[in-house]
Structure 1
Amino acid sequence: MRRFIHASVTAILIGACSSSSGTSVATSSVSTTTATTSISTTTVAANTSTSTNTPVTISFTIAVSGDTLPHSQLWAGAQRNSALAGNPNGYDFRPMFARVKPLISRVDLAICHLETPIAPVGEPLSTYPLFGVPSEITDALADAGYDRCSTASNHTMDRGTAGIDTTLNALDRVGISQAGMARTPREIEPKLISVNGISVAHMSYTFSYNGLPAADGESWRSALIDSERILRDIHQAKQIGAQVVIVSMHWGNERESAPSSFQQQIADEITKSGEIDLIVGHHAHVLQPIKKVNGTWVIYGLGNFLSNMPTVPKDPPWPASTQDGAIVTTRIALTSDGQVTVDQPVVIPTWVDRISGWQIRVVNDDLNNDEITGSTRAELQASLRRTKKVLGGYIGN
């Protein structure tokens, strides 16, 4: 819900919990007892009792999703969409997100993972293995309701410094903030955003740049996974007022649903600090488990949200599970005495329908729609079975 997010570089004092127009603070919540696609945003007045035994609680809802990886086949589809709308020279990815837009736009903070850089202005587009995608993908992300993206990935350096600059300029143009890339050394440092009056730090790291050197030797252009560096960044974020810390990690082994030893080691090392509230993972292109590590929820991998897999040439071939993804929602609450709680995450399974224009389908919604029949229903059923094997305990009713 993009209109409620703004940048902040100072601490938000929760003790001063009154709003500008009264003594109550509006909060939002996510219902986990209804259907997975029914996200409640009921406004609740904060308890403003002066009793020292009842800390005031405020909260926000959050949604995170899998890899946004626009292959060249998707560009062709987006170009057809644009031509149908009267602009044959543009790219319109918005129809691909239409089915998930109601879910993304309802939460207080929606974070995407943009895995690929935008092609520099005046340079050709490019696909695997060195991506440079149309800037219009950012228009679609904004239209869907995303507030922020993680951008550190193994493709960060694919188009050099110009690709990084162009990506961040494109996100700025549509009003989406990001973590994981930088135009200046200062930009890579932790920043705060305010969500429902809570000061949030969100940071993004990757395990690799696919062997490419840091663009022009400027290692500050992105952030590699290193436990000591991450803990230093968290300390810095806390120093400038962060009350909630969310870390995005591009990690793991492609095709493998089981978290790698590297993922497990890093998760253990950085959560021991007790200063991380949520870890969100990407890269494997298949779904990975959700687990609590040292009291912190770790979403190891969210699969592919939008891509052309599994038809991308690869030896061995990509599995069918690379069409599976998830939107994961939760509620993060903060009391006036500084205690943070994160509700058990709720998984909303998604599936990329390449036959129908790369629509991101909400699996349970479509399976509850009697008009969805034939091969599409069979594919959705197969996708749900695969997702249940990995995340069954977290899929909403």
Structure 2
Amino acid sequence: MTCRFMAVGDIAPDRDDPKSIFAHVRDRIRAADLGYCQLEVNLTTRGQRVPQARHTMRGKPEIANALVDTGLGIVSFAGNHTMDWGPEGMFDTLANLDRAGARHMGAGANILEARAPVIEARGGVRVGFLAVNSILPQNYWADHDKPGCAPMRGHTVYEQIEHDQPGTPARVHTFPHNEDLEALTSSIRALKEQVDIVILSHHAGIHFVPAVIPDYQRAVGRAAIDAGADMVLGCHAHILKGIEFHRGKPIVHSLANFALDLWMTPEHAASRGFREIQALSPGWEPDFTSSYNFPPDSRMSIAVEATLTREGLRDLALVPVWIEKDSAPRFVSQREPEFDRILAYLRKITAIADLPTRYEALGDTIRPEPA
């Protein structure tokens, strides 16, 4: 008894026909028994932009149907854009996903709903999904009587390296919020009693900065595996990060982008906010003719494929993805130069992050294994 699973990264089409962005990848995704993605955008025409939002994301309600049509029926909505348009925007998003037949996790009317799992059975295998978010504008997290996303907060401490030198660089230390981590591990243990496989979506990490994985993200991933998760899928960073194995189980620290449109205007390109983010990634230049205004490293992505069984996860494979100037992702074969570029990049960032993982090409996939 087996279930073929595929996971992709961040989704946020901004176009008249949302289905068109998936044209090159739809068939392969639909061949899986279960498909997962991270929804980055509110699916609503209502709501008011909340003042603490740094960059608001809003998309057509039809995106929900495009996801299901593509085979991406398991959707995490635990992210840093969950409450961009207030409770109205969040509730509209969940309702539109429901109407399209998508299963969603990570956000809800209160903390119990936000932390509730999605459970699906395919091929005789019961699979449970949870989603939490560490990238949290103020008040985006759910509480007992407040809507929002499932929080997995992190703390940051700055340690001055040269204590007698004001203004010099500091070491950055991060660690998980204890109560959130306890709630997460309790949820994983409870879910594991009901299913064969537990998959955690963790919205976390340092966006646009190559290779770096913060301490709190590593700690949460390992704690999730210790509690019974079979795989952790990271999202948010918009670029690939390394993969590690803990107790033989994979922690994919960033799936990167998958299907996002991001248009750029000269006014936004000149803004202080964009220039500060632009400095995080070398070679990032605006392109006013392109719908994909991300740094060069964001052209590279992966889809994760695996066979899920009652005994665990096997046949883990990475399918290299190249994102074109028109934002449309496509799977690349081993004979294409982009395949080697993605493989080399994974090896490089994994070594920089000091993760003991090796990658080998096998057919048109990349196989990660503990070193």
TM surpasses 0.5: yes
Distance in 2 of aligned mates of 1:323 and 1:390: 15
Q: CA, structure 1 residues 128+99, in 2 after alignment: closer, same or farther (shift >3 Å)? A: farther
Q: CA, structure 1 residues 216+276, in 2 after alignment: closer, same or farther (shift >3 Å)? A: closer
Distance in 1 of aligned mates of 2:57 and 2:124: 37
Distance in 2 of aligned mates of 1:299 and 1:268: 11
- How far did residue 253 of structure 1 move? 0.6
1:364 aligns with 2:333: yes
CA RMSD of aligned residues (A): 2.8
Distance in 1 of aligned mates of 2:186 and 2:149: 15
Letter in 1 for 2:25: V
Tell me if structure 2 keeps the 8 A contact 1:388–1:395.
no
1:102 aligns with 2:27: yes
Q: 1:372 — aligned with what?
A: none
Distance in 2 of aligned mates of 1:137 and 1:299: 25
Tell me if structure 1 keeps the 8 A contact 2:111–2:149.
no
Distance in 2 of aligned mates of 1:182 and 1:215: 7
- How far did residue 220 of structure 1 move? 5.2
Greater RCO structure (CA 8 Å; 6+ sep):
1
Q: Which residues of structure 1 form unaligned runs of 5+?
A: 1-57, 80-91, 335-339, 369-376
> Structure 2-normalised TM-score?
0.73
Q: 1:44 — aligned with what?
A: none
Tell me if structure 1 keeps the 8 A contact 2:12–2:59.
no
1:64 aligns with 2:18: no
- How far did residue 396 of structure 1 move? 3.9
- How far did residue 269 of structure 1 move? 2.2
Tell me if structure 2 keeps the 8 A contact 1:349–1:395.
no
- How far did residue 209 of structure 1 move? 2.3
In the TM superposition, 1:276-355 aligns within 5 A as: 276-308=229-261, 313=269, 314-315=274-275, 316=279, 317=284, 319-334=295-310, 340-354=311-325
Q: State the Cα deviation string for residues 126-183 of structure 1 (Å, max 9, x = none).
A: x970112111222221121112111101111111111111111111121110111114
Distance in 1 of aligned mates of 2:313 and 2:143: 40
Q: CA, structure 1 residues 211+394, in 2 after alignment: closer, same or farther (shift >3 Å)? A: farther
Q: State the Cα deviation string for residues 244-291 of structure 1 (Å, max 9, x = none).
A: 111000011112323221111112223223x11111111111101122
Structure of greater Rg: 1
- How far did residue 202 of structure 1 move? 0.2
Letter in 2 for 1:236: A
Q: State the Cα deviation string for residues 167-203 of structure 1 (Å, max 9, x = none).
A: 1111112111011111455533234221222222100
Q: 1:170 — aligned with what?
A: 96
SS at match of 1:393: strand
- How far did residue 364 of structure 1 move? 2.1
> Structure 1-normalised TM-score?
0.68
Tell me if structure 2 keeps the 8 A contact 1:130–1:158.
yes
Q: CA, structure 1 residues 247+394, in 2 after alignment: closer, same or farther (shift >3 Å)? A: farther
- How far did residue 384 of structure 1 move? 6.0
SS at match of 2:107: coil
Q: CA, structure 1 residues 325+170, in 2 after alignment: closer, same or farther (shift >3 Å)? A: same
Distance in 2 of aligned mates of 1:105 and 1:145: 5
- How far did residue 359 of structure 1 move? 1.8
Letter in 2 for 1:154: N
Q: 2:105 aligns with which of 179, 183, 200?
A: 179
Q: 2:149 aligns with which of 222, 228, 235?
A: 222
Tell me if structure 2 keeps the 8 A contact 1:157–1:215.
no
Q: State the Cα deviation string for residues 298-347 of structure 1 (Å, max 9, x = none).
A: 1111111022469684222453011221111011111xxxxx22125211
Q: CA, structure 1 residues 363+61, in 2 after alignment: closer, same or farther (shift >3 Å)? A: same
Q: CA, structure 1 residues 185+282, in 2 after alignment: closer, same or farther (shift >3 Å)? A: closer
- How far did residue 363 of structure 1 move? 2.3
Q: 1:18 — aligned with what?
A: none
Distance in 2 of aligned mates of 1:199 and 1:263: 27
Q: Which residues of structure 2 form unaligned runs of 5+?
A: 153-179, 285-293, 351-357, 364-371
Aligned-pair identity (%): 24
- How far did residue 243 of structure 1 move? 2.2
Whose strand fraction is larger, Structure 1's or Structure 2's?
A: 2
